[in-house]
């Protein structure tokens, strides 16, 4: 097995077509097919199923691709760390729950490594997809939280994907509401105070269970609930419907607007916010900077 073969494997998977991948790699199609076949034979797996329409990654191929992406990323990180100063295009990807501090840290990262050319990705996405992104190598870091209600399930999933969770911040529960909300003047808000108002939560797709929820209070505790996919929609509904959501209390007026405020929730719960990453990896300089930026904003 060589890094070149792994590069070929990832390129074919990304293109979904041997011919297109060969053109992108500047090699002949027979040479590329032979290299992939030799890698499959060595690893004892069938990475792709072939058809007239192209190639489809198999289940065992997905697992092989996860390792391939990780090894290629680690090779790049080693070259960058120990190399001879070769200029490299800044490249980094993070997947996170819908947190303003995760976006703020991402902004700091781009400002620090601004260049004529770079490739940065931030995915505000569902909890299950965050774990999948880091496990598959699509993202170097994931940002999510654990609490009393979800940690057994989430930590087991993290462990099964050969990942680890590193705690960064313990938050007390807060309610995000509009500054003109009827409850805005209260110093502390109770669960009973919130019952007349719409509870806004982030939709979690096929993993739409309480364990994967970004909010640590179940929708079942309230008669009115609305599921949304993005932060802008959620905050528009907070303002337009006197709705509310439950989160960490870390809020940024530049990103979320001055109309949204955070009030302490009378609940004996905590949120352990942290990052997930692959075990025993070398972080890129961009990932290392992003983690320090997260700590600053938290």
Closest C-alpha among 286, 232, 294, 221 to residue 259:
232
Residues sharing a CB contact under 8 Å with residue 159, sequence separation 6 or more, in sequence order: none
Which residue is associated with the tokens 């290392």?
288
**186, 223: one domain:** yes
Sign of CA dihedral 210, 213, 217, 222: negative
For 238, the domain range is 173-268
Which tens digits make up the pLDDT trace of 2-54?
989 999 999 999 999 888 998 999 999 899 999 999 999 999 999 998 888 88
- What CATH number does residue 136 fall under? 3.40.190.10
pTM: 0.77
Q: Which is more confident, 12 or 77? A: 12
Q: Which is more confident, 70 or 212? A: 212
Please give the Cα distance from 211 to 226 (Å, whole number).
18
Q: Which is more confident, 280 or 191? A: 191
**14, 129: one domain:** no
Q: Which is more confident, 258 or 7? A: 7
Q: Any alpha helices (H) in the chain, and if so which ranges?
A: 3-15, 18-25, 29-43, 59-82, 100-112, 127-136, 151-160, 191-194, 231-241, 253-256, 285-297
At which of 82, 100, 118 does a domain end? Answer: 82
**96, 133: one domain:** yes
Closest C-alpha among 232, 212, 210 to residue 221:
210
3-state class (DSSP) for residue 179: coil
Decide: residue 238, CB within 10 A, 0-12 exposed, 13-18 middle, 19+ buried: buried
């Amino acid at each position: 097995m060589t890094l070149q073969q792994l590069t070929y494997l990832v390129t074919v998977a990304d293109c979904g077509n041997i011919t297109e991948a060969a053109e992108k790699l500047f090699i002949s199609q027979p040479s590329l097919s032979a290299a992939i076949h030799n890698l499959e034979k060595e690893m004892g797996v069938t990475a792709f199923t072939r058809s007239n329409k192209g190639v489809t990654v198999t289940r065992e191929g997905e697992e092989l691709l996860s390792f391939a992406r990780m090894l290629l990323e680690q090779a790049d990180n080693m070259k960058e760390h120990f190399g001879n100063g070769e200029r490299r295009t800044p490249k980094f990807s993070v997947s996170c729950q819908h947190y303003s501090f995760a976006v703020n840290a991402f902004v700091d990262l781009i400002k620090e490594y601004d260049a004529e050319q770079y490739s940065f990705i931030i995915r505000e996405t569902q909890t299950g997809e965050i774990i999948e992104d880091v496990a598959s190598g699509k993202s170097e870091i994931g940002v999510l939280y654990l609490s009393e209600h979800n940690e057994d399930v989430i930590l087991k999933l993290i462990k099964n994907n050969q990942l680890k969770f590193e705690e960064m911040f313990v938050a007390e529960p807060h309610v995000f509401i509009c500054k003109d909300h009827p409850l805005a003047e209260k110093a502390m808000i109770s669960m009973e105070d919130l019952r007349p108002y719409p509870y806004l939560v982030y939709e979690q797709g096929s993993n739409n269970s309480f364990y994967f929820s970004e909010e640590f209070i179940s929708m079942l505790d309230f008669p009115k609930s609305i599921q949304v996919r993005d932060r802008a929609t959620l905050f528009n509904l907070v303002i337009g419907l006197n709705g509310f959501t439950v989160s960490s209390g870390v809020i940024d007026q530049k990103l979320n607007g001055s109309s949204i405020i955070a009030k302490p929730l009378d609940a004996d719960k905590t949120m352990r916010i942290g990052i997930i990453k692959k075990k025993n990896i070398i972080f890129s300089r961009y990932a290392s900077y992003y983690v320090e930026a997260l700590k600053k904003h938290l």
